[in-house]
Structure 1
Amino acid sequence: MAAIMEKLSLKLFNLNSRNETGKQRCLVNRLGYASGYTQQDAGFSLLELLVVILMIGILSAIAAPSWFSFVNRQQVNKANDAVLAALQEAQSQAKKTKLSYSVSFQKNSATKNVEVAIYSTNAGISTWKTLGSDVGANSNQLLLGANLNGENAVNTASITDSTVHYPLPITPTKITFDYMGALTLPNNLGTPVSPSTDPPGLKIVIALPSSANSTSPSSVKRCVIVKTLLGSMATAKDSQCS
């Protein structure tokens, strides 16, 4: 009797085990079906990978020009900020020391960097500094222009005396402030060009080179203009810097 009961218990145990295994398999199959996942669906096909790569290439081709244009404009903006800071520093030093102070700009023919010097006029230039180096501007990729043909004097050799020259008509270009921060004498802010009634002022221009000619400016320009004999300044861009 005991042997019969033992065999019956063993059969019931095996039956329960098979039922549990069947339930687990059924659950796995249901989950796999619900998620749409099978072993054969794992990873990407070659076609899918090629489509993704193609889409990335197309998006990069569209975005790259805009990105480079943005970076170049930032370089011009940084360099122009450095021009304004240099002029303001010279004007401040002139008023502080009660001496004439000058700012000179040049394009170094060897390094191609735009350079600036701030100095006491009587002492003369001691050192040149790369323009905008402290703010990350790559001035060797930029053009420097001005409408001056002498110290504190707008070019008067042409009919339109506000013409900006590339390269500069004089090297270096120099602007000087007296002990009150005004432009030293003699000075000439130019003749108003119709329809404007204001003189063009002294312009220092930073420009991106043209894609067709690296020595000619593109339409992307930034400039600082000394507008009055008292030394007031303003910034402008693009067509206002021509």
Structure 2
Amino acid sequence: MKASSGKPSILLIQPIKKRESHGFTLLEVSVALGVIGILFAIATPAWSSLLNKQRLNTARNEAFQAMRTAQHKAKLQHVDWQVSFREVNGLVQWAIHPDSTLPSTSLWHSLDSNVRIDQGTTLYFDGTNNIYRLRFTHLGRVSGQLGRITFSSKTDSQTKRCVIVSTLLGTMREGEKSAGENSDKLCN
């Protein structure tokens, strides 16, 4: 032992160097990506279903407005008017025109490309011109067959939206059938 000089000895302790870390470890990134992937896998079918329902609702609303417009024009002009629906090259189209004429190509309006006319459609089908039609008299009443135009998605045939013409006076209402409902049930 050495003799001390009278001054207290100070033992210097050097701090342990901290390892500086910037960013995330590979494990943390992998876990985060895994969680995001799982959430995405859960959300995708719900998002797809929501988009299909929105497309069908839009198609139904357009069809309803087209029918109302044809009915209004018939009353306003005192001439029979017709709304026609057809499916051409995978696209559903509609047109409003006087009953006495066939619509020209420029009169047809297309619905969303993922929408199709469903087999549940009961409007009069004109096989010669390949169109479903609904006619209104000059009084705005239905001329001929009552029925419904039903739309379904090309990817989900169980979810349906429709416009129903239920009385000769031209009363119309919108209907629907969801995928979870009884498969025998029509769009109501």
The CA distance in 2 between the partners of 1:74 and 1:210, in whole Å, is 13
Distance 1:169 1:209, change over 3 A: farther
Structure with larger Rg: 1
- Conserved in 2, the CA contact under 8 Å of 1:102 and 1:120? yes
Q: Which residue of 2 aligns with 1:178?
A: 137
Q: 1:180 to 1:104 in 2, by over 3 A?
A: same
Larger proportion of strand:
2
- Structure 1 SS opposite 2:159: strand
Gaps of 5+ in 1: 1-28, 30-37, 133-137, 152-167, 190-201, 212-217
TM-score normalised by structure 1 residue count:
0.61
Which residue in 2 is equivalent to 1:57? 37
Show the counterpart of 1:117.
95
What SS class does the counterpart of residue 100 from structure 2 fall into? coil
Amino acid at match of 1:60: F
Q: Which residue of 1 aligns with 2:187?
A: 241
Q: C-alpha separation between the residues in 2 aligned to 1:96 and 1:50?
A: 67
CA separation in 2, counterparts of 1:182 and 1:122? 16
Once the 2 structures are TM-superposed, how far is the Cα of residue 208 of structure 1 from its aligned partner?
Answer: 1.5
* Percentage of identical aligned residues: 31
Asked if the contact 1:119–1:126 (Cα under 8 Å) also holds between the matched residues in 2, the reply is no
Q: Quick check: which one's helix share is greater? A: 1
Match of 2:72 among 92, 98, 119: 92
State the aligned residue count: 162
Distance 2:128 2:82 in 1: 18
Deviations 1:114-172 (A, max 9, x none): 0111001123322342334xxxxx2x222203213447xxxxxxxxxxxxxxxx99820
Which residue matches 1:148?
123
Indicate which of 55, 80, 84 corresponds to 2:60: 80
Shift in CA distance, 208/67, structure 1 to aligned 2, threshold 3 Å: same
Deviates more, 1:66-75 or 1:41-50: 41-50
List runs of 5+ in structure 2 lacking aligned partners: 1-14, 178-184
Report if aligned partners of 1:99, 1:178 keep a CA contact under 8 Å in 2.
yes
SS in 2 for 1:219: coil
Matched letter for residue 129 of structure 1: W
Distance in 1 separating the partners of 2:137 and 2:80: 4
